Amino acid sequence: MTGATLIWGSTPLVGILSNLPSGVFVFFRVFFAFPFIFYFAVKKAGIREFFYLKPFWPLFLSGIFLGINWIFFFWALNITDISTVVVLYYLGPIISIILAVVFLKEKFNGYILAAVILALTGMVVSNFKGGGIKFDFGIFIALMAAVSYGFLGFFSKIATMYHRAVSVTAWQILISIILTAPFLFLNDFEFTFKTFVIVLIAGVVHTAFALFLWYDSLNFISVSIASVLQYLDIFFAMIFGLFLGQIPSFNQFIGGALIAFAGIVGSRVKK
Protein backbone atom coordinates (compact mmCIF):
# COMPACT_ATOMS: atom_id res chain seq x y z
CA MET A 1 0.00 0.00 0.00
CA THR A 2 2.84 2.38 0.81
CA GLY A 3 4.41 1.48 -2.53
CA ALA A 4 1.18 2.45 -4.31
CA THR A 5 1.03 5.80 -2.53
CA LEU A 6 4.70 6.43 -3.31
CA ILE A 7 4.03 5.82 -7.01
CA TRP A 8 0.94 8.04 -6.97
CA GLY A 9 2.89 10.71 -5.12
CA SER A 10 5.29 10.93 -8.08
CA THR A 11 2.44 11.26 -10.62
CA PRO A 12 2.40 15.11 -10.53
CA LEU A 13 6.12 15.13 -11.39
CA VAL A 14 5.53 12.77 -14.33
CA GLY A 15 2.61 14.88 -15.59
CA ILE A 16 4.72 18.04 -15.54
CA LEU A 17 7.70 16.37 -17.24
CA SER A 18 5.49 15.19 -20.10
CA ASN A 19 4.90 18.82 -21.22
CA LEU A 20 1.51 17.73 -22.54
CA PRO A 21 -1.82 19.56 -22.14
CA SER A 22 -3.76 18.00 -19.27
CA GLY A 23 -6.48 16.41 -21.41
CA VAL A 24 -3.90 14.85 -23.75
CA PHE A 25 -1.81 13.52 -20.87
CA VAL A 26 -4.89 11.97 -19.23
CA PHE A 27 -5.88 10.30 -22.51
CA PHE A 28 -2.52 8.57 -22.93
CA ARG A 29 -2.41 7.66 -19.24
CA VAL A 30 -5.75 5.84 -19.35
CA PHE A 31 -5.15 4.47 -22.86
CA PHE A 32 -1.96 2.65 -21.82
CA ALA A 33 -3.43 1.59 -18.49
CA PHE A 34 -6.67 0.07 -19.81
CA PRO A 35 -5.37 -3.28 -21.22
CA PHE A 36 -3.79 -4.18 -17.88
CA ILE A 37 -6.77 -3.02 -15.81
CA PHE A 38 -9.17 -4.87 -18.12
CA TYR A 39 -7.16 -8.09 -17.82
CA PHE A 40 -7.04 -7.77 -14.03
CA ALA A 41 -10.80 -7.08 -13.84
CA VAL A 42 -11.73 -10.03 -16.06
CA LYS A 43 -9.41 -12.32 -14.13
CA LYS A 44 -11.04 -11.27 -10.84
CA ALA A 45 -14.68 -11.07 -11.93
CA GLY A 46 -14.94 -13.12 -15.11
CA ILE A 47 -15.96 -11.81 -18.51
CA ARG A 48 -19.69 -12.33 -17.98
CA GLU A 49 -19.78 -10.47 -14.69
CA PHE A 50 -17.61 -7.69 -16.10
CA PHE A 51 -20.14 -7.02 -18.87
CA TYR A 52 -23.13 -7.19 -16.54
CA LEU A 53 -23.82 -3.46 -16.50
CA LYS A 54 -27.07 -3.06 -14.60
CA PRO A 55 -27.22 -0.40 -13.33
CA PHE A 56 -24.89 1.38 -15.76
CA TRP A 57 -25.46 5.00 -14.71
CA PRO A 58 -23.12 4.97 -11.66
CA LEU A 59 -20.38 3.38 -13.79
CA PHE A 60 -20.91 6.00 -16.48
CA LEU A 61 -20.97 9.00 -14.13
CA SER A 62 -17.97 7.80 -12.12
CA GLY A 63 -16.05 7.34 -15.38
CA ILE A 64 -16.97 10.86 -16.50
CA PHE A 65 -15.82 12.31 -13.20
CA LEU A 66 -12.59 10.30 -13.26
CA GLY A 67 -11.69 11.95 -16.56
CA ILE A 68 -12.81 15.42 -15.44
CA ASN A 69 -11.01 15.00 -12.13
CA TRP A 70 -7.66 14.14 -13.73
CA ILE A 71 -8.01 16.87 -16.38
CA PHE A 72 -8.45 19.52 -13.69
CA PHE A 73 -5.69 17.98 -11.56
CA PHE A 74 -3.00 18.04 -14.28
CA TRP A 75 -4.24 21.40 -15.57
CA ALA A 76 -3.69 22.84 -12.09
CA LEU A 77 -0.18 21.36 -12.01
CA ASN A 78 0.64 23.23 -15.22
CA ILE A 79 -0.20 26.61 -13.68
CA THR A 80 0.71 26.37 -10.01
CA ASP A 81 3.02 24.41 -7.69
CA ILE A 82 2.61 20.75 -6.72
CA SER A 83 2.17 21.38 -2.99
CA THR A 84 -0.75 23.76 -3.54
CA VAL A 85 -2.48 21.32 -5.87
CA VAL A 86 -2.11 18.13 -3.84
CA VAL A 87 -3.10 19.78 -0.55
CA LEU A 88 -6.34 21.14 -2.03
CA TYR A 89 -6.94 17.99 -4.09
CA TYR A 90 -7.31 15.87 -0.98
CA LEU A 91 -10.34 17.83 0.07
CA GLY A 92 -12.03 15.43 -2.36
CA PRO A 93 -12.63 12.53 0.06
CA ILE A 94 -14.24 14.93 2.54
CA ILE A 95 -16.56 16.19 -0.22
CA SER A 96 -17.45 12.53 -0.96
CA ILE A 97 -18.40 12.00 2.68
CA ILE A 98 -20.61 15.12 2.66
CA LEU A 99 -22.34 14.00 -0.57
CA ALA A 100 -22.99 10.56 0.95
CA VAL A 101 -24.56 12.16 4.03
CA VAL A 102 -26.79 14.44 1.93
CA PHE A 103 -27.85 12.09 -0.87
CA LEU A 104 -27.34 8.58 0.50
CA LYS A 105 -28.68 9.49 3.93
CA GLU A 106 -25.57 8.21 5.69
CA LYS A 107 -25.45 9.13 9.35
CA PHE A 108 -23.98 12.51 10.23
CA ASN A 109 -21.89 12.32 13.40
CA GLY A 110 -19.07 13.99 15.29
CA TYR A 111 -16.38 12.34 13.14
CA ILE A 112 -17.81 13.91 9.98
CA LEU A 113 -18.15 17.32 11.61
CA ALA A 114 -14.56 17.15 12.89
CA ALA A 115 -13.31 16.04 9.46
CA VAL A 116 -15.05 18.96 7.71
CA ILE A 117 -13.71 21.51 10.22
CA LEU A 118 -10.17 20.12 9.96
CA ALA A 119 -10.30 20.07 6.16
CA LEU A 120 -11.55 23.65 5.87
CA THR A 121 -8.94 24.78 8.40
CA GLY A 122 -6.22 23.01 6.40
CA MET A 123 -7.40 24.67 3.19
CA VAL A 124 -7.25 28.14 4.77
CA VAL A 125 -3.90 27.54 6.46
CA SER A 126 -2.26 26.17 3.31
CA ASN A 127 -3.27 29.25 1.31
CA PHE A 128 -2.53 31.85 3.98
CA LYS A 129 0.23 34.12 2.76
CA GLY A 130 1.33 37.66 3.52
CA GLY A 131 -1.36 38.29 6.11
CA GLY A 132 -4.21 37.12 3.88
CA ILE A 133 -5.64 34.15 2.03
CA LYS A 134 -4.11 33.56 -1.39
CA PHE A 135 -6.59 32.82 -4.18
CA ASP A 136 -5.78 32.73 -7.88
CA PHE A 137 -6.75 30.81 -11.01
CA GLY A 138 -4.43 27.91 -10.18
CA ILE A 139 -6.07 27.48 -6.79
CA PHE A 140 -9.51 27.66 -8.43
CA ILE A 141 -8.61 24.84 -10.85
CA ALA A 142 -7.14 22.79 -7.98
CA LEU A 143 -10.43 23.24 -6.09
CA MET A 144 -12.33 22.09 -9.19
CA ALA A 145 -10.11 18.99 -9.17
CA ALA A 146 -11.05 18.43 -5.52
CA VAL A 147 -14.77 18.86 -6.20
CA SER A 148 -14.70 16.46 -9.15
CA TYR A 149 -12.65 14.04 -7.00
CA GLY A 150 -15.43 14.24 -4.43
CA PHE A 151 -18.08 13.39 -7.03
CA LEU A 152 -15.86 10.60 -8.35
CA GLY A 153 -15.69 9.06 -4.89
CA PHE A 154 -19.44 9.50 -4.41
CA PHE A 155 -20.47 7.81 -7.68
CA SER A 156 -17.78 5.14 -7.23
CA LYS A 157 -19.33 4.33 -3.87
CA ILE A 158 -22.70 3.82 -5.53
CA ALA A 159 -21.17 1.79 -8.37
CA THR A 160 -19.43 -0.59 -5.95
CA MET A 161 -22.79 -1.36 -4.36
CA TYR A 162 -23.63 -3.27 -7.56
CA HIS A 163 -20.28 -4.14 -9.16
CA ARG A 164 -16.83 -5.31 -8.07
CA ALA A 165 -14.45 -2.45 -7.32
CA VAL A 166 -11.91 -3.61 -9.89
CA SER A 167 -14.61 -3.82 -12.59
CA VAL A 168 -15.75 -0.31 -11.68
CA THR A 169 -12.17 0.92 -12.10
CA ALA A 170 -11.83 -0.72 -15.53
CA TRP A 171 -15.09 0.85 -16.76
CA GLN A 172 -14.01 4.23 -15.38
CA ILE A 173 -10.74 3.98 -17.31
CA LEU A 174 -12.55 2.98 -20.53
CA ILE A 175 -15.07 5.82 -20.26
CA SER A 176 -12.23 8.26 -19.55
CA ILE A 177 -10.51 7.17 -22.78
CA ILE A 178 -13.63 8.10 -24.74
CA LEU A 179 -14.07 11.36 -22.81
CA THR A 180 -10.51 12.58 -23.32
CA ALA A 181 -9.97 11.39 -26.93
CA PRO A 182 -11.22 14.72 -28.41
CA PHE A 183 -8.36 16.56 -26.67
CA LEU A 184 -5.98 14.93 -29.16
CA PHE A 185 -7.56 17.13 -31.85
CA LEU A 186 -8.35 20.20 -29.76
CA ASN A 187 -4.80 20.80 -28.46
CA ASP A 188 -1.48 21.49 -30.12
CA PHE A 189 1.28 19.34 -28.66
CA GLU A 190 4.58 17.73 -29.56
CA PHE A 191 4.76 13.96 -29.13
CA THR A 192 8.40 12.85 -28.98
CA PHE A 193 9.97 9.54 -28.01
CA LYS A 194 10.65 10.99 -24.56
CA THR A 195 6.99 11.94 -24.25
CA PHE A 196 5.97 8.42 -25.33
CA VAL A 197 8.13 6.86 -22.62
CA ILE A 198 6.74 9.21 -19.96
CA VAL A 199 3.06 8.58 -20.80
CA LEU A 200 3.73 4.84 -21.11
CA ILE A 201 5.18 4.87 -17.58
CA ALA A 202 2.25 6.98 -16.37
CA GLY A 203 -0.20 4.44 -17.77
CA VAL A 204 1.52 1.18 -16.92
CA VAL A 205 3.27 2.06 -13.64
CA HIS A 206 1.42 5.03 -12.15
CA THR A 207 -2.03 3.72 -13.03
CA ALA A 208 -2.20 -0.03 -13.74
CA PHE A 209 0.62 -1.30 -11.50
CA ALA A 210 -0.20 1.09 -8.63
CA LEU A 211 -3.86 0.04 -8.75
CA PHE A 212 -2.78 -3.62 -8.71
CA LEU A 213 -0.70 -2.93 -5.60
CA TRP A 214 -3.65 -1.10 -4.04
CA TYR A 215 -6.18 -3.88 -4.63
CA ASP A 216 -3.73 -6.65 -3.76
CA SER A 217 -2.77 -4.98 -0.48
CA LEU A 218 -6.44 -4.95 0.55
CA ASN A 219 -6.12 -8.74 0.87
CA PHE A 220 -3.74 -8.18 3.78
CA ILE A 221 -4.77 -4.92 5.46
CA SER A 222 -8.09 -3.34 6.35
CA VAL A 223 -9.80 -0.61 4.35
CA SER A 224 -9.44 1.68 7.39
CA ILE A 225 -5.65 1.36 7.33
CA ALA A 226 -5.66 1.83 3.55
CA SER A 227 -7.69 5.03 3.98
CA VAL A 228 -5.02 6.35 6.33
CA LEU A 229 -2.06 5.36 4.16
CA GLN A 230 -3.50 6.96 1.02
CA TYR A 231 -2.83 10.39 2.54
CA LEU A 232 0.89 9.73 2.29
CA ASP A 233 0.34 10.83 -1.34
CA ILE A 234 0.33 14.44 -0.20
CA PHE A 235 3.75 14.28 1.42
CA PHE A 236 5.34 12.06 -1.22
CA ALA A 237 4.17 14.56 -3.87
CA MET A 238 5.72 17.42 -1.89
CA ILE A 239 9.01 15.51 -1.73
CA PHE A 240 9.01 14.82 -5.48
CA GLY A 241 8.25 18.50 -6.06
CA LEU A 242 11.72 19.24 -4.70
CA PHE A 243 13.16 17.79 -7.93
CA LEU A 244 11.57 20.76 -9.71
CA GLY A 245 12.85 23.22 -7.15
CA GLN A 246 9.38 23.54 -5.59
CA ILE A 247 9.89 23.82 -1.84
CA PRO A 248 6.63 23.55 0.14
CA SER A 249 6.02 26.34 2.62
CA PHE A 250 5.46 25.70 6.30
CA ASN A 251 1.79 26.68 5.85
CA GLN A 252 1.37 24.16 3.03
CA PHE A 253 2.90 21.40 5.11
CA ILE A 254 0.66 22.18 8.10
CA GLY A 255 -2.39 22.55 5.84
CA GLY A 256 -1.62 19.21 4.21
CA ALA A 257 -1.26 17.56 7.61
CA LEU A 258 -4.64 18.97 8.73
CA ILE A 259 -6.38 17.77 5.56
CA ALA A 260 -4.72 14.35 5.85
CA PHE A 261 -5.87 14.15 9.47
CA ALA A 262 -9.37 15.17 8.35
CA GLY A 263 -9.38 12.28 5.89
CA ILE A 264 -8.22 9.88 8.60
CA VAL A 265 -10.96 11.07 10.94
CA GLY A 266 -13.50 10.78 8.13
CA SER A 267 -12.37 7.21 7.42
CA ARG A 268 -13.35 6.28 11.00
CA VAL A 269 -17.03 7.09 10.35
CA LYS A 270 -18.22 3.51 9.81
CA LYS A 271 -16.02 2.11 12.56
pLDDT the model gives residue 158? 93
Between 54 and 227, where is the model more confident? 54
pLDDT the model gives residue 226? 76
**DSSP per-residue string spanning 48-111:** HHHT--SS-HHHHHHHHHHHHHHHHHHHHHHHS-HHHHHHHHTTHHHHHHHHHHHHS-PPP-HH
Mean pLDDT of 117-146: 85
Question: Which range of residues forms the domain containing residue 46?
Answer: 2-266
Confidence of residue 264 (pLDDT cuts 50, 70, 90): confident
Three-state SS at 133: strand
* Euclidean distance between CA atoms 66 and 51, whole angstroms: 20
pLDDT tens for 175-184 read: 999 999 999 9
Residue 71 domain-assigned (yes or no)? yes
pLDDT tens for 51-80 read: 988 999 999 999 999 999 999 999 999 999
Residue 125 domain-assigned (yes or no)? yes
Residue 216 domain-assigned (yes or no)? yes
* Counted domains in the chain: 1
Residue 271 domain-assigned (yes or no)? no
**DSSP code for 6:** H
Residue 95 domain-assigned (yes or no)? yes
Question: E-assigned strands of 130-240?
Answer: 132-133
Confidence of residue 271 (pLDDT cuts 50, 70, 90): very low
Residue 218 domain-assigned (yes or no)? yes
Residue 48: Cβ within 10 Å count = 8
pLDDT tens for 71-105 read: 999 999 999 999 999 999 999 988 998 898 899 88
Average pLDDT in the chain:
90
* Euclidean distance between CA atoms 78 and 189, whole angstroms: 14
Share of the chain above pLDDT 90, in %: 63
